[in-house]
Chain A
Amino acid sequence: SQELEQSPQSLIVQEGKNLTINCTSSKTLYGLYWYKQKYGEGLIFLMMLQKGGEEKSHEKITAKLDEKKQQSSLHITASQPSHAGIYLCGAAYYNQGGKLIFGQGTELSVKP
């Protein structure tokens, strides 16, 4: 969707390295969701951000939402092979009911 741009499209990192995935919206977000998807499987919920400037962490994954609520980043510290997969950001907008608009995804490979 052109409303939501995700970058990079793919990423190959060496195990132990840090990485960042970005998600940019063309309009103000109500909320931003991060999901992980293994190839051929469903989406696993990671985190949801709603307040401007909010930051959440789970294990080695940290997600932030900027003050203007139009950009989010997902940062992985000391990547491991288990972090490999496709990361998707999903946007909830005001007055759009519950539906999510997804970015095109970032495919992450972690080399041992």
Chain B
Amino acid sequence: EAEVAQSPRYKITEKSQAVAFWCDPISGHATLYWYRQILGQGPELLVQFQDESVVDDSQLPKDRFSAERLKGVDSTLKIQPAELGDSAMYLCASSWPGQTGETQYFGPGTRLLVL
């Protein structure tokens, strides 16, 4: 069964350090999403890609966060510098072309702890 892959699963870092997360979507899924989930809350969209293009990054803190999907397949989310408030679960999801109504399939997530 095809799955969304994410790595690492867990990351502990100190504030002001740089961190990077990787996501490999289900093969053939053109749309890729990065969500952030704070403990006890639902996920919130950070950035949405359609192939290699950013479709929505309105909630991405662009002073410290960046995301890329250079070849339209896998994607990297970076935080530099990390802050204490960035501690959360970072979830990647993918779907067929992002027409409203396409089911999003999620990866296992990367749990980030900033000390």
A, B: real partners: yes
Q: Which residue of the partner chain, among A4, A40, A94, contacts B100 with CB atoms under 8 Å? A: A94
* A102–B42 CB distance below 8 A: yes
Q: Interface size class for chain A?
A: 20 to 34
Bound Cα distance A105, B38 (Å): 12
Instruction: Please judge, given known A-B contacts A31-B100, A33-B103, whether A99 and B45 are in contact too, CB under 8 Å.
Output: yes
* A100–B45 CB distance below 8 A: yes
Q: Which of the listed residues A30, A41, A43, A50 has the most CB atoms from chain B within 10 Å of its own CB?
A: A43
* B101–A50 CB distance below 8 A: yes
Bound Cα distance A51, B58 (Å): 29
Q: Which residue of the partner chain, among A41, A93, A100, contacts B109 with CB atoms under 8 Å? A: A41
B25 contacts chain A at the CB level, 8 A cutoff: no
Instruction: Please judge, given known A-B contacts A1-B42, A100-B45, A104-B41, whether A43 and B91 are in contact too, CB under 8 Å.
Output: yes
Bound Cα distance A45, B56 (Å): 23
Chain B residues lying within 8 Å of A105, measured Cβ to Cβ, are 40-42
A-B contact pairs, 7 of them (CB 8 A): A1-B44, A6-B42, A40-B89, A96-B100, A98-B100, A100-B45, A102-B44
18 more A-B contacts (CB under 8 A) besides A90-B42, A102-B42, A104-B42? A1-B42, A4-B42, A31-B101, A33-B103, A42-B106, A42-B107, A43-B93, A43-B106, A45-B103, A45-B106, A48-B103, A50-B101, A98-B100, A98-B102, A102-B43, A103-B42, A104-B41, A105-B41
By a beta-carbon cutoff of 8 Å, the part of chain A in contact with chain B is: 1, 4, 6, 30-31, 33, 35, 40-45, 48, 50, 88, 90, 92-100, 102-105
